[in-house]
Amino acid sequence: MASIFDSPVYQIANAQYDRVCDWLDVAQDVRERTRNPKRALVLRIPVKMDDGRVESFEGYRVQHHLALGPTKGGIRFHPDVTLGETAALAMWMSWKCALAGLPYGGAKGGVACDPHAMSRGEIERLTRRYTTELIPFIGPKMDIPAPDVGTGEQHMAWIMDTYSIAMGRGEPGVVTGKPVILGGTVGRREATGRGVAFLVNRAMDLLKIRAEGATAALQGFGNVGSQAALTLAASGVKIIAVEDHTGGVHRAAGLDVRALLDHATATGGVAGFSGGDVLDSGAVFSLSCDVLIPAALEAQITGKNAPGLRCKILAEAANGPTTACGDEVLRNSDIFLIPDILCNVGGVTVSYFEWVQNEQNFSWSEIEINDRLYRILEKAFQDVLNFSKKHGLGMRDAALAIGISKVLEAKRLRGLFP
């Protein structure tokens, strides 16, 4: 693949796309038009560091397709961010939004930096300068960023403030995932993890696994992982293991998730938590459990470790956690898969609610938010399940086939200009 986007993660997204396009029998020219991002911006972001040096970071924003509305997708601050990874994540956002019926094309942004090694002031200056460079590219009717790995509500507040100052008016709708007081929505912080837990519960119903006493293990204990763990624990599921970038903890009788979150918030990670035993890096993927939830980064489940998975349900809370080889193993196993574009769609769904509220200068209650969220999740789950049964496809291919078909149909109906 001769493409500036070529990278291991872009290859995962493309392998999935080609599999499904083969199955849908999509003509080669149509396939290529829809595969590659519509627009991509590469930025050099100079930042004055606390010691007086100027450090130049590389940042990106990729808009995958514009056929269904403005584009939407998170912003990642992580050392491994590349243009290719950003393009892959934008592509997945396209299929995800289409699957759930949200009026967006996919986008993603990121800066290659290590936020754990930066001061708050440095991160604020980086965020504001990145936003300034992005001004011609983003906006409530153009492209609406949100949090992803390494960013959260505070970053969204800085983006909204920087953009609003440049426009000369308040523009809360330029980002979602903002603090509630600045026009964010109740329930957004919890939405992705809450959605993961809702879908895990639906899969457990299907497999006749009782939540009370069922076991779950997670990789990743940030926004998504911690909220999924808290919600599952509240429905009676025992969280037996959690691994993050600092280490892993295990307790067969179930971890105290709230205490683990307090510890991780205070110390920066789960390592050193006294309420469990130390778990070696990667060991979470070979634990026997009902539900395994990768909620960290891409390419964690590979051809190498997938044969050793001992879960009944694999809930892909992270984007792209499974490589093409890992997926091949999963397709030939009995594991019930909740694929990423379905599993974590709760996040962008409540982001959509936030954007709608901003556009209308109106706010909904948390009951309203959750009720609307669960209705969209239930429909998406049923759509994927029914498609999978009807066509004898796995859950991943079924979810992708629905999302990709909708984007292709939108492009076909809009036609080609001129």
- Point out which residues bind ligand NAD (CB under 6 A): 147-150, 192, 219-225, 243-245, 269, 295-297, 317-319, 344, 347
Q: Which of 165, 168, 291, 273 is nearest to 219 (CA)?
A: 291
CA distance 340 to 246: 24
Alpha carbons 247 and 245: distance in angstroms, whole number: 6
Q: How far apart are CA 113 and CA 130, in angstroms?
A: 12
Which lies closer to ligand NAD via its Cβ, residue 223 or residue 322?
223
CB atoms within 10 A of CB 78: 18
List the catalytic residue out of 38, 72, 96, 108.
108
Virtual torsion, Cα 283, 288, 290, 296, nearest 10 deg = 10
Shortest distance, position 53 Cβ to ligand NAD, whole Å: 26
CB of 268 to ligand NAD, least distance (A): 9
Residue 105 or residue 269: which is nearer to ligand NAD going by CB?
Answer: 269
Positive or negative: CA dihedral 82, 87, 92, 93: positive
- Beta carbon of residue 389, minimum distance to ligand NAD (angstroms, whole number): 26
SS3 201: helix
Q: Measured from the CB atom, is 209 or 216 closer to ligand NAD?
A: 216
Nearer to ligand NAD, 106 or 408 (CB): 106
Smallest gap from residue 220 Cβ to ligand NAD (A): 4
Phi, psi angles (nearest 5°) of residue 139: 155, 160
Cα(328)–Cα(292) distance, rounded to whole angstroms?
18
Residue 108 is a catalytic residue = yes
Residue pair 79/87 in contact (Cβ under 8 Å)? The answer is: no
Minimal distance, residue 224 CB to ligand NAD, in Å: 4
265 vs 386 by CB, closer to ligand NAD: 265
Which secondary structure element, helix H or strand E, spans residue 54, and what is its range? strand 54-63
User: For 230-287, what is the HEC assignment?
Assistant: HHHHHCCCEEEEEEECCEEEECCCCCCHHHHHHHHHHHCCCCCCCCCEEECCCHHHHC
Q: Decide: 143 and 70 in contact? Cβ < 8 Å.
A: yes
> Tokens 């959750």 — which residue?
370
For 125, the 3-state DSSP assignment is helix
In the complex, minimum distance from the CB of residue 264 to ligand NAD, in angstroms, rounded to a whole number: 7
Phi-psi bin for 54: left (phi > 0), alpha (psi -120 to 50), beta? beta
* Residue number, 21 or 218, with CB nearest to ligand NAD: 218
Instruction: Tell me the closest approach of the beta carbon of residue 209 to ligand NAD, in angstroms.
Output: 24
Q: Which is nearer to ligand NAD, 210 or 258 (CB)?
A: 258
Q: At what angle do helices 395-414 and 8-24 cross, to 10 degrees?
A: 80
Q: Give catalytic residues, as residue numbers.
A: 108
